[in-house]
Every structure is written in structure tokens, then in C-alpha cells.
């Protein structure tokens, strides 16, 4: 590929760092959304599971109630998977984890004198963070789909319990 001119490397590095910041913000947004959804979903699911009417005789209402609770539990599982860190690669936070200060200094000095290496490391970090953000948002969307399935099931269960008197 050849060595790009230093100005092109600096421009590219600046752009990649900007995109890294954007990816970090998206990771944070996904975590925040997952936490907010969990704050509502966990108590609702607990109520569905603890409702005495679900543990009594089998009825249409209880079947729909259990189905809603199951859907909510799956959604909560997706939210848990969204906030669980899945860090891969050798850049970013992983480049300093479980390393001595001397190793970090040595690596930093070596990389800081090589703009092409900085660009490569930054591109790897961007790839890791963007993938992490994408995975988190996919899991949040999957949880929301589970909650969307649970909502009408809860409504049908409530109607069934009210009708059975």
C-alpha cells in the first residue's frame, strides 16, 4: 500500500479518534437504555411471577400471565447481555489491563513515535468499540421486542383474570 504522507496520516488519525469518541458515546447510550429498561422490566416481571393467581388453578389468564412473564424474562436476559462487557482485541482498555506501568510506558513510547502504528491501533480500537456498540443496541432491540410481545399477553391475562372473577 505504501506509506502515506505524514499530513494524510495525521488527518486520518484525527478522524479515527473522532469516530472512537462517537462509538464510546454510543456504547454509553446503549448501556443507559438497557439499564432504564431493566429498571422497569424487573419489577413488572417480579409482580407477574409473584401474583398468587398465577400459582393457583390453571386458567386462560394464568397461561397468558406465565407467557408474559417468560417473555419478560427473556427480555431481561437480553438486557443483561447488553450491559455485560465483551471486550476483544489488544487496543483501548485491553491494551493497559493487567499490565505493569513499565510495559504501558514502553508500549506508549514505541507507538507515540510511529504515526502509522497509532493509526492502526486507533482503527482496531474503533472497530472493537463500534462492534461493541452495535452488539449492545441489537440486544436492547431484542429485549424491546420481547417486552412488546409481553405487553398484549399481560393485557389478555388481566382480562382473563377479571373475567374469571
Examine residue 3 and state whether it is found in any structural domain, yes or no.
no
Examine residue 41 and state whether it is found in any structural domain, yes or no.
yes
Q: What is the mean pLDDT of residues 100-123?
A: 80
The mean pLDDT of the chain is 84
Q: Is the pLDDT of residue 155 over 80?
A: yes
Q: Which of 158, 119, 86, 157 is nearest to 14 (CA)?
A: 119
Are the CB atoms for 72 and 48 separated by under 8 Å? yes
Q: What is the pLDDT at residue 32? A: 94
Examine residue 86 and state whether it is found in any structural domain, yes or no.
yes
Q: What is the pLDDT at residue 72? A: 95
Q: Which residue has the higher pLDDT, 40 or 2?
A: 40
Examine residue 129 and state whether it is found in any structural domain, yes or no.
yes
Q: What is the pTM of this model?
A: 0.78
Q: What is the pLDDT at residue 75? A: 96
Examine residue 130 and state whether it is found in any structural domain, yes or no.
yes
How does 30-50 read in b/e, with b if 16+ C-beta sit within 10 Å? bbebbeebbeebeebbeebee
Q: What is the pLDDT of residues 130-153, one digit of tens each?
A: 999 999 999 999 999 999 999 999
Q: Is 163 exposed, middle or buried (0-12, 13-18, 19+ CB in 10 A)?
A: exposed
Q: What is the pLDDT of residues 8-56, one digit of tens each?
A: 888 888 899 999 999 999 999 999 999 999 999 999 999 888 876 556 6
Examine residue 2 and state whether it is found in any structural domain, yes or no.
no
Q: How many domains does the chain have?
A: 1
Examine residue 117 and state whether it is found in any structural domain, yes or no.
yes
Of the listed ranges 25-29, 65-69, 78-82, 103-107, the one predicted with least confidence: 103-107
**Could you write out the DSSP letters of every residue in 101-146?**
HHHHHHHHHHHHT-HHHHHHHHHHHHHHHHHHHHHHHHHHHHHHHH
Q: Which domain holds residue 131?
A: 8-164
DSSP category for residue 65: H
Owner of C-alpha cell 479515527 = 16
**What is the CB-side half-sphere exposure of residue 59 using CA atoms within 13 A?**
19
Q: What is the pLDDT of residues 74-96, one digit of tens each?
A: 999 999 999 886 666 555 566 66
Examine residue 1 and state whether it is found in any structural domain, yes or no.
no
Amino acid at each position: 500500500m505504501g506509506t502515506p504522507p505524514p499530513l494524510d496520516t495525521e488527518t486520518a488519525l484525527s478522524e479515527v479518534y473522532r469516530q472512537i469518541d462517537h462509538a464510546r458515546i454510543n456504547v454509553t447510550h446503549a448501556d443507559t437504555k438497557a439499564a432504564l429498561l431493566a429498571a422497569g422490566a424487573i419489577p413488572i416481571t417480579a409482580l407477574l411471577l409473584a401474583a398468587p393467581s398465577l400459582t393457583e388453578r390453571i386458567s386462560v389468564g394464568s397461561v397468558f400471565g406465565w407467557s408474559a412473564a417468560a417473555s419478560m424474562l427473556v427480555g431481561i436476559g437480553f438486557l443483561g447481555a447488553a450491559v455485560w462487557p465483551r471486550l476483544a482485541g489488544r487496543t483501548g482498555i485491553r491494551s493497559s489491563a493487567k499490565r505493569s506501568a513499565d510495559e504501558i510506558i514502553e508500549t506508549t513510547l514505541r507507538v507515540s513515535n510511529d504515526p502509522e502504528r497509532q493509526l492502526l491501533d486507533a482503527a482496531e480500537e474503533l472497530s472493537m468499540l463500534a462492534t461493541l456498540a452495535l452488539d449492545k443496541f441489537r440486544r436492547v432491540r431484542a429485549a424491546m421486542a420481547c417486552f412488546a410481545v409481553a405487553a398484549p399477553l399481560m393485557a389478555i391475562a388481566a382480562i382473563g383474570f377479571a373475567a374469571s372473577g
